[in-house]
Amino acid sequence: MIVEGAVVDVDGARRAYVRFRKGQVVEVGSPGTDSSRGKEHRVHGIVTPRPVNSHTHLGDAAAAREPPHAGVAEIVGPGGLKFRLLAERSAVEKEHAMRSALERMVREGVGAVVDFREEGVPGVAQLRRASAGLPIEVRALGRPTARPIVPGELSRLLRIADGIGVSSAREETFETRNRLADRAHRMGKWFALHASEEVREKPDEYMRPRPDLLVHLTKASPDDLETVAKTHVPVAVCLRSNALFGRSPDLAAFARAGVRLLIGSDNAMLNAPSIFRETEFAYLAGRWLGHPVDAQYLARAAYVEPWLWLDQPGRARIAPGMTGTPLAFRLPTEDPAYQLVTRATAQLIVPTGAERGE
């Protein structure tokens, strides 16, 4: 089959057709120049790499009730509501809820998810069981439970996790962060943390030791953003989660500073794990609050930049022989990045043959 209209990928947005065979891209070119001679089914739409949900906390998906009106510390901070609920839920309940959240992401075409999984080795093991057999890459960033750090626990955690994800520099000592980052990096794994979420923190506080990923920077100043941008460390933002606590980062300022932007849905107990909802909200919030952000910047943050960070550039460019299978949407093709950011839904995904083996 052929999807004709537009492509949005690492090279930007452009008019194009994409020819599929068994879900794989076999031909790309300018509209009207394909080699099918009109003999293949044709759909008008947009083709793009699969989105990545770059920051989640899926473990708390088992807690789905409306959260109380309270601050970040009371809801998701250490000892807060989230951790009390995690302690109350059984492993089976948490695994079932995490699998349901992952299945939703699969239905929305998500190719990978980066999850901050609390509760030490058992927490990561639960996520691994929950994701077994699903067609989605799950990158688990675990968090050891013992303080001070117990070497045995950290070793066991890093054997099954893709790295370490901690709460923030404010809640972990420099000695602890340095030890976690050093051990993770020695094993070729990631170290990530939340930063400037509730209050502004100085970059020196969260950039030492150097992380592989930052989350939020909701309270970062323009100078802070420029400092982070120069390091090329990506930043995952979660606009709906921030809005729940009365905050919204200025993504136009992120773009001006040149920050490598990623997008995540954050805590599953607060928001559905939908990148479609997240990008739409991010775009509309910027317009509403008077600092509009370019739709192309948001589209790249959801569909392109994560694959570069995951060191899978072959999944970021729509081309014959590309790694993995891209997504096709039955969407208008004018201003394609805007269409992706504000109108994409699971119902608009076009089957490209992989589902039927054609």
pLDDT in tens, 15-66: 999 999 988 999 999 998 998 888 899 999 999 999 999 999 999 999 888 9
- State the pairing for strand pair 163-168/190-195: parallel
In angstroms, the CA 166 to CA 174 distance is 12
Our CA angle for 222, 225, 230, nearest 5°, is 130
Cα-Cα-Cα-Cα torsion 167, 112, 275, 258, nearest 10 degrees, comes to 70
Q: Say what the pLDDT of residue 247 is.
A: 93
In angstroms, the CA 52 to CA 291 distance is 25
Domain 2-49+317-348 has CATH 2.30.40.10: yes
pLDDT in tens, 180-199: 999 999 999 999 999 999 99
Do the Cβ atoms of 214 and 192 come closer than 8 Å? yes
Helix or strand holding residue 28 (H, E): strand 24-29
What is the separation of C-alpha 120 from the centre of its chain, rounded to a whole number of angstroms?
21
Q: Say what the pLDDT of residue 151 is.
A: 97
Which of 16-20, 39-43, 69-73, 102-106 comes out lowest in average pLDDT?
69-73
Q: What is the mean pLDDT of residues 94-114?
A: 98
- State the pairing for strand pair 24-29/12-21: antiparallel
Do the Cβ atoms of 273 and 58 come closer than 8 Å? yes
Quick check: 119 pLDDT over 70?
Answer: yes
In angstroms, the CA 49 to CA 218 distance is 27
3-state SS class at 155: helix
**Which one has a higher pLDDT value, 85 or 200?**
200
Please give the CATH number for the structural domain made up of 52-309.
Answer: 3.20.20.140
What is the edge-to-edge ordering of all strands in the sheet holding 213-216? 261-263, 235-237, 213-216, 190-195, 163-168, 137-142, 112-117, 52-57, 266-267
In angstroms, the CA 302 to CA 239 distance is 13
Tokens 């990530």 belong to: 192
In angstroms, the CA 132 to CA 92 distance is 14
What is the separation of C-alpha 157 from the centre of its chain, rounded to a whole number of angstroms?
22
Do the Cβ atoms of 29 and 16 come closer than 8 Å? yes
Q: Say what the pLDDT of residue 261 is.
A: 98
Do the Cβ atoms of 131 and 96 come closer than 8 Å? no
- State the pairing for strand pair 2-9/52-57: unpaired
Quick check: 216 pLDDT over 90?
Answer: yes
Task: Name the residue ranges covered by the structural domains of the chain.
Answer: 2-49+317-348, 52-309
Mean pLDDT of the chain, nearest integer:
95
Q: Say what the pLDDT of residue 356 is.
A: 42
Residue type, 81: L
pLDDT band at 79 (very low <50, low <70, confident <90, very high): confident
Q: Any idea what DSSP says for residue 188?
A: T
Q: Say what the pLDDT of residue 78 is.
A: 78
Q: Any idea what DSSP says for residue 356?
A: T
Q: What is the mean pLDDT of residues 148-152?
A: 97
Tokens 């067609």 belong to: 135
Quick check: 357 pLDDT over 50?
Answer: no
Which of 77-86, 113-122, 262-271 comes out lowest in average pLDDT?
77-86
Which of 61-75, 96-110, 227-241 comes out lowest in average pLDDT?
61-75
DSSP E strands, 196-333? 213-216, 235-237, 261-263, 266-267, 327-329
Quick check: 91 pLDDT over 90?
Answer: yes
Q: Any idea what DSSP says for residue 324?
A: S
pLDDT in tens, 233-280: 999 999 999 999 999 999 999 999 999 999 999 999 999 999 999 999
pLDDT in tens, 298-308: 999 999 999 99
- Beta partners for residue 192, in sequence order: 165, 213
Query: Distances in Å between the alpha carbon of 247 and those of 72, 77, 178, 218, 252?
Result: 11, 16, 30, 7, 15
